[in-house]
């Protein structure tokens, strides 16, 4: 029984994977950079769905007049809450580069524009 206690404690305190939704936090229209950020608490291994994040960035790029978004650089981790020398909570920022020109066609009779 006493031998199982350290094993149970290690399992309980081990890092668990948590899915997070990345949200748009910064947009630079001139350089075409979109930054998405999600939070990660201590002892968590947060992940985000790259397909959904790319779709979110592409939607933001299209609102700025670009056609699509591609991942740009490596994720940047920033500590947001500290307790002593420990980082309790951190933000992970993913950057996307907007590319291409969104071509719209305007049709009569109130039909929606199309992106090429």
Q: Give the pLDDT confidence of 26-60 residue by residue, as tens digits.
A: 999 999 999 999 999 888 888 899 999 999 999 99
For residues 46 and 109, which has the higher predicted lDDT (pLDDT)? 46
- Residue 63, pLDDT above cutoff 60: yes
Q: Give the pLDDT confidence of 1-15 residue by residue, as tens digits.
A: 566 656 555 555 555
Q: What is the mean pLDDT of residues 74-98?
A: 94
Rounded distance between C-alpha atoms, residue 24 and residue 5, angstroms: 43
The end-to-end CA distance of the chain, in Å, is 65
Locus of tokens 């997070």: 20
- Residue 89, pLDDT above cutoff 60: yes
Rounded distance between C-alpha atoms, residue 96 and residue 56, angstroms: 10
Rounded distance between C-alpha atoms, residue 53 and residue 46, angstroms: 14
């Amino acid at each position: 029984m006493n031998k199982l206690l350290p094993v149970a404690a290690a399992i309980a305190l081990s890092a668990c994977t948590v899915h997070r939704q990345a949200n748009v936090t910064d947009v630079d229209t001139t350089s075409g950079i979109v930054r998405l950020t999600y939070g990660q608490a201590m002892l968590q291994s947060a992940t985000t769905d790259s397909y959904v994040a790319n779709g979110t960035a592409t939607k933001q790029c299209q609102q700025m007049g670009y056609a699509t978004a591609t991942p740009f650089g490596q994720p940047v981790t920033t500590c947001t809450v500290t307790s002593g020398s420990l980082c309790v909570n951190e933000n992970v920022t993913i950057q996307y580069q907007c590319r291409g020109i969104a071509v719209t066609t305007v049709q009569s009779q109130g039909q929606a524009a199309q992106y090429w």
